[in-house]
Chain A
Amino acid sequence: MDSIDASIVNHLQDGLPVCPRPFDAVAENLGLSVDELLSRLQRLLDDKALTRFGPMYNAESMGGALSLCAMQVPAERYDDVAGLVNAFPEVAHNYEREHLLNMWFVIATERPQQAGAVISQIEQATGCRVYDMPKQQEFYVGLKLVV
């Protein structure tokens, strides 16, 4: 990633306008042609530095639910349990973390009442208790990842 890529990433995190040619203004700001901007973006996607160009949803407004969940998984079963948990399509992220509660994942469901069922199924499949910690309040941080 060079300095042009870095400024592209910084510019695009603020979002793109919803208009017929959404990349034109960013390209002009960066002094690039639209074609060059798009080919650099495609390369960043191919390199997996970016996951996709698309909408950031507000889960609650969509009627859906997101919950952060944690489990205490015995070390010798860790990989097996990770496989079982990740097999659920509702599991969006899964991180190993250094704590007694050592597996942390996010459950995203289209409707809030589905979350409880998914959690029960994960507990049944893994034999581990799931501690779910849905967001009660979000403090606004703004967009400030500077590459």
Chain B
Amino acid sequence: MVLNEQDRELIAAIQGGLLLVAEPYAAIAAQLGLTETQVIARLQLLQETGLIKRMGVVVKHRALGYRANAMVVWDIPDAEVERIGALLADETCVTLCYQRPRRLPAWPYNLFCMIHGRERDSVLRRLEQIIEFHGLEKIPHTVLFSGRSFKQRGAHYVDKARLPAVVRRSHG
């Protein structure tokens, strides 16, 4: 679908988050000079067309005690990526699973999984079980644990300069 100017204003107004009030869409509508019904109808359309996956909260894994955040990367023969990617994505501890391009010679890996766990040991134990269960012993892999996190925010898709003043202020 093509975004119109009103959609862009609406997206800009909500991308930093909605107010935690009983009627958040009425609050946004008042800010944009629209009716609540207009805002809800447009957001439902954005959701139906897949531009918005869902309305919800963004959880910070670290703050919830998931301190071991492992990126497990695999060098899988291209013909097998589909099958193995689907198997790994099905594992409960795998929170993201993407195929990405190799960057040879520096980077031979083409499948990336995120595994969140409370401790490094438990993440590694779980990984060993996954490898054994699916017979992945011959697939080269490596585990990159995260150290410091420098920046963590949702992506912003509309220029900050386009945000209404009231929203821009709340982002400093």
A interface secondary structure, majority? mixed
Q: In the assembly, what is the distance between CA of A100 and CA of B109, in Å?
A: 14
Q: Which of B56, B92, B95, B100 contacts A135 (CB 8 A)?
A: B100
Looking at B23-31, B122-130, B131-139, the stretch in contact with chain A turns out to be: B23-31
Q: Which residues of A contact B157 (CB under 8 A)?
A: 57, 59, 62, 64, 108, 110
For the complex formed, measure the closest distance between the CB of B98 and the CB atoms of chain A, giving whole angstroms.
5
Asked if A98 is an interface residue, CB under 8 A from chain B, the answer is yes
**Cβ B145 vs Cβ A97 within 8 A:** yes
User: In the complex, which range does the number of interface residues on chain A fall in?
Assistant: 35 or more
**Cβ B150 vs Cβ A94 within 8 A:** yes
Q: Which residues of B contact A22 (CB under 8 A)?
A: 24-25, 55
For the complex formed, measure the closest distance between the CB of A61 and the CB atoms of chain B, giving whole angstroms.
5
Q: Considering the complex, which residues of chain B in the window 33-50 have a beta carbon less than 8 Å from any beta carbon of chain A?
A: 36, 40, 43-44, 46-47, 49-50
Q: In the assembly, what is the distance between CA of A9 and CA of B59, in Å?
A: 8
Q: Which residues of B contact A62 (CB under 8 A)?
A: 11, 51, 157
Contacts between the two chains (Cβ within 8 Å), count: 231
Q: Considering the complex, which residues of chain A in the window 1-47 have a beta carbon less than 8 Å from any beta carbon of chain B?
A: 1, 9, 12-24, 34-35, 38, 41-42, 45, 47
User: In the complex, which range does the number of interface residues on chain B fall in?
Assistant: 35 or more
**Cβ B85 vs Cβ A133 within 8 A:** no
**Cβ A131 vs Cβ B100 within 8 A:** no
For the complex formed, measure the closest distance between the CB of A5 and the CB atoms of chain B, giving whole angstroms.
10
CB closest residue in chain B, given A23: B22
CB closest residue in chain B, given A8: B57
**Known A101-B107, A131-B107; contact A41-B101, beta-carbon cutoff 8 A:** no
Q: In the assembly, what is the distance between CA of A66 and CA of B20, in Å?
A: 28
Q: Which residues of B contact A108 (CB under 8 A)?
A: 155-157
Q: Considering the complex, which residues of chain A in the window 61-95 have a beta carbon less than 8 Å from any beta carbon of chain B?
A: 61-64, 66, 68, 70, 72, 82, 86, 89, 91-95
Across the A-B interface, give the 4 residue pairs with the lowest CB-CB distance, nearest first. A52-B17, A15-B54, A108-B155, A96-B147
Q: Which residues does A use to contact B, with CB under 8 Å?
A: 1, 9, 12-24, 34-35, 38, 41-42, 45, 47-59, 61-64, 66, 68, 70, 72, 82, 86, 89, 91-101, 104-106, 108, 110, 131, 133-141, 144-145, 147
